[in-house]
Copies of this chain bind each other. A is one copy, B any other.
Amino acid sequence: MKQFEDPRLAATRKAAIEAALVILKSEGVLAVTYASVSKATGISRSTLYRHWPEINDLRNDTFKRAARPENKSPEPRTNGPLKADLMWLLRFLLTALNDTPWGKIAPQIVAAAAQDDQARAVINLFMQERITSVKAVFEAAADRGELRDTVDIDQLADLAVSVLYFRKLFAGQPIDETWLAEHVDTLCELAVAQ
């Protein structure tokens, strides 16, 4: 009877993914190969194949590792007023995109998602998590009676997050403090009771 998993399995997994993450950050998805990870870790190529039969399996595990927990949304502030809470949370998302490795990693996952269902699932889950955290901010504002009663909170949360990523990854427009302030103003104008 095997009660416990061979500790070598976990050690190999961790070392490989950790090294793959470094390569992912510095050189992109395509540089995450069996050979490069093998060289970086000393783990033999055949062992890597046994753990991850296809290269996308390894890459997707690296994506999952990258998507948590440092890069996840923090517990949002929900003390109010809405504008302050929104500014705080969206500034975190903006900083993550502009000034942390996540700004390099996210596009890599998006790229992989175009070809791979698993990668698509990773990026979808991550984005849902971002939207949910923003939604919590709006819901708290609604509980405090700050919002108009006609507003659709799901729509608002979608709007708040999507423009950030769209400008960064699709439109090539800057997302800086100046823009963020205007963006939050627009959202509040839409949401807050006059």
A residues with a Cβ closer than 8 A to B are 28-30, 107-108, 110-115, 120-121, 123-124, 127-128, 131, 150, 152, 155-156, 158-159, 161-163, 165-167, 169-173, 182-183, 186, 189-190
Contacts and interface: CB of A to CB of B under 8 A. Distances in A.
A126 to B, nearest CB: 9
Contacts of A163: 158-159, 162-163
A150 to B, nearest CB: 7
Given A30-B115, A107-B113, A158 B167 contact: yes
B159 A165 contact: no
B113 A169 contact: yes
A171 B134 CA distance: 14
B123 A114 contact: no
A105 B127 CA distance: 22
Contacts of A107: 113-114
B120 A111 contact: no
A171 B108 contact: no
B166 A186 contact: no
Contacts of A186: 152, 155-156, 159, 190
B152 A182 contact: yes
